[in-house]
Chain A
Amino acid sequence: MTPVATPPSQFVYRMFQEGVLPPNFCPAYVSSVKRAPRQPLVPLPQTISELTGPTFTPPESVQSVDLTKGAHGAALGERILVGGRVLDEDGRAVAGTLVEIWQANAAGRYLHASDQHNAPLDPNFTGGASFVTDAKGRFRFETIRPGAYPWRNHPNAWRPAHIHFSVFGPAFATRLITQMYFPGDPLLPFDPIFNSIRIQAVRERLIAAFDWDTTVPEYGLGYRFDIVLRGRHETPMENKP
């Protein structure tokens, strides 16, 4: 372990603006009712504990990640490519950060004991992967476009197609878990999870963009999904009284 000087700031990272984060108590999302805390959150200063976190050496170039190659052959469904960058609010690359993803297969079924959806599993698709962003914050993976799946939130409830993303960023304070959606999905207006984010422009940023640059001819459609983590305050706090 390397000793580190204590940063002088109480607020190195910018706070989230009102309405950017979904509220934890969200009755339209039924599971939140008995799980979301009701007491107000207590402000936590950004101390050395919150300003550090696991970080990794960026790979020399964008890692090659392919979820479509199974033990016995190719996974079934529409092959797609997803590329993007992890950045902070000032557009700086977040290099060497761990990204983990998981998703349903083309039929809308997860390889998970609790998923009882009556849709086929694909022996060649696990739906999980992880990678570390390169020096420019870039990542790219090949996968199968996930199917929509039913859930029991309300009658005839279906989740829009999505890929779950987990991103560490440089510190405990920047830890992010989110979902990537697909453009034009007709289920988006009806999904309580997507719509838990009050500000329309903020939730629509969770929709990947169809992208010709990521599309590979004769191979698969490409989508671009950039992830923006909290930025740091512009002025070094030690210069402030």
Chain B
Amino acid sequence: MTEAPEPGPLAVSPSLPVTSYQTVGPYFKIGLEAFYRNDLTNPNTPGRIVEVAGAVLDADRAPVPDAVLEIWHADSSGRHMVQPQAKPFDDTFIGFGRVPTNEAGEFQFRTIKPGAIQASGPELQAPHILVSVFMRGLLYRLITRIYFSDEPGNADDPVLRSVEQHRRGSLIAQAVQGRPDRYEWNIYLQGENETVFFEL
């Protein structure tokens, strides 16, 4: 096998052209199912267990039964896992989940509520979960964030504040009355309440 050159760390401009995206298609289960994870909790992980449930809805408010969400978030003290895992997705808590939607377009996952994160600069980021959304019909992933409705820090979060006020609500999972530690959050792909998706 021919080896590509490995330039030093001070290379001035990119030497290789980046690989582009294609849709995940309808049959991703074959490749991705081995690492489906909708329960990230572990008896040894400190923090408050929370559940987030919702649905993915298309332009007609029809449920999307063939989407898959990937989540990534910090632990309860606001720290992200940076140590390489010995084996992909063994049982240690690393803050990664992968959740397909069911026939009704619904998803649900259980995890540890992330802590607040010191952002670049002086701003603190409110607790949040990063989400990638993949499905047939999307040529490129959608990127969004989940915040929690009962976090006072949302008001000062630099990312939430960068979003027009009337659209911020789409990024906030709502605490469910009478069901402590359960939150509801839907993804609206289009329409009046279209979810905020990010360019990264």
Binary interface encoding of chain A residues 114-131 relative to chain B, with 1 for a CB under 8 A from any of its CBs, else 0: 110000000000111110
Query: Smallest Cβ distance from A21 to chain B, in angstroms?
Result: 5
Residues of chain B within 8 A (CB-CB) of A83 are 1
Query: Smallest Cβ distance from A124 to chain B, in angstroms?
Result: 15
- The A73-116 residues at the B interface (CB cut-off 8 A) are 83, 85, 87-93, 96, 98, 100-104, 110-112, 114-115
B12 touches A21 (CB 8 A): no
- The B132-186 residues at the A interface (CB cut-off 8 A) are 132, 134-143, 145, 158-159, 162-163, 167
Residues of chain B within 8 A (CB-CB) of A36 are 137-138, 189-190
B17 touches A6 (CB 8 A): no
CB contact between A21 and one of B140, B159, B196 (< 8 Å): that residue: B140
A53 touches B22 (CB 8 A): no
- The B99-145 residues at the A interface (CB cut-off 8 A) are 117-120, 125, 128, 130, 132, 134-143, 145
Residues of chain A within 8 A (CB-CB) of B33 are 128
A179 touches B22 (CB 8 A): yes
Query: Smallest Cβ distance from B167 to chain A, in angstroms?
Result: 8
A6 touches B74 (CB 8 A): no
The 10 A-B pairs with the shortest beta carbon distances in the complex, nearest first, are A102-B31, A31-B137, A89-B14, A35-B137, A44-B198, A22-B139, A41-B199, A102-B30, A52-B80, A34-B59
A166 CA / B21 CA spacing, docked (Å): 10
Residue in B closest to A196 when the chains form the complex, CB atoms:
B139
B19 touches A206 (CB 8 A): yes
CB contact between A41 and one of B87, B89, B198 (< 8 Å): that residue: B198
On whether A172 and B15 interact (CB within 8 A), knowing A32-B138, A178-B20, the answer reads: no
A228 touches B120 (CB 8 A): no
On whether A100 and B80 interact (CB within 8 A), knowing A35-B64, A176-B21, the answer reads: no
A residues sitting closer than 8 Å to B (CB atoms) are 1-4, 6-10, 14, 16, 20-24, 26, 29, 31-39, 41-50, 52-57, 83, 85, 87-93, 96, 98, 100-104, 110-112, 114-115, 126-130, 132, 136, 138, 164, 166, 172-173, 175-179, 193-194, 196-197, 201-203, 205-206, 213-214, 224, 226-231, 234
Residues of chain B within 8 A (CB-CB) of A100 are 31-32, 34-35
Residue in A closest to B158 when the chains form the complex, CB atoms:
A45
CB contact between A3 and one of B79, B125, B128 (< 8 Å): that residue: B79
A49 touches B130 (CB 8 A): yes
A36 CA / B133 CA spacing, docked (Å): 11
B residues sitting closer than 8 Å to A (CB atoms) are 1-7, 10-35, 58-60, 62, 64, 66, 70, 72-75, 77, 79-89, 93-94, 96, 117-120, 125, 128, 130, 132, 134-143, 145, 158-159, 162-163, 167, 189-190, 194-200
CB contact between A2 and one of B81, B96, B128 (< 8 Å): that residue: B81
CB contact between B58 and one of A9, A35, A42, A173 (< 8 Å): that residue: A35
CB contact between A20 and one of B18, B81, B189 (< 8 Å): that residue: B18
Query: Smallest Cβ distance from A192 to chain B, in angstroms?
Result: 9
On whether A110 and B30 interact (CB within 8 A), knowing A1-B81, A42-B199, A44-B198, the answer reads: yes
CB contact between B140 and one of A22, A43, A102, A206 (< 8 Å): that residue: A22
Besides A44-B200, A45-B159, 7 other A-B contacts (C-beta < 8 A): A23-B139, A35-B135, A49-B80, A49-B117, A130-B31, A166-B28, A234-B13
CB contact between A166 and one of B31, B81, B190 (< 8 Å): that residue: B31
Residues of chain B within 8 A (CB-CB) of A4 are 79-80, 82
Residue in B closest to A85 when the chains form the complex, CB atoms:
B4
A8 CA / B88 CA spacing, docked (Å): 29
CB contact between B87 and one of A52, A56, A229 (< 8 Å): that residue: A56
B1 touches A213 (CB 8 A): yes
A49 touches B189 (CB 8 A): no
Residues of chain B within 8 A (CB-CB) of A53 are 72, 96
A24 touches B17 (CB 8 A): no
CB contact between B21 and one of A21, A46, A231 (< 8 Å): that residue: A21
Residue in B closest to A140 when the chains form the complex, CB atoms:
B1
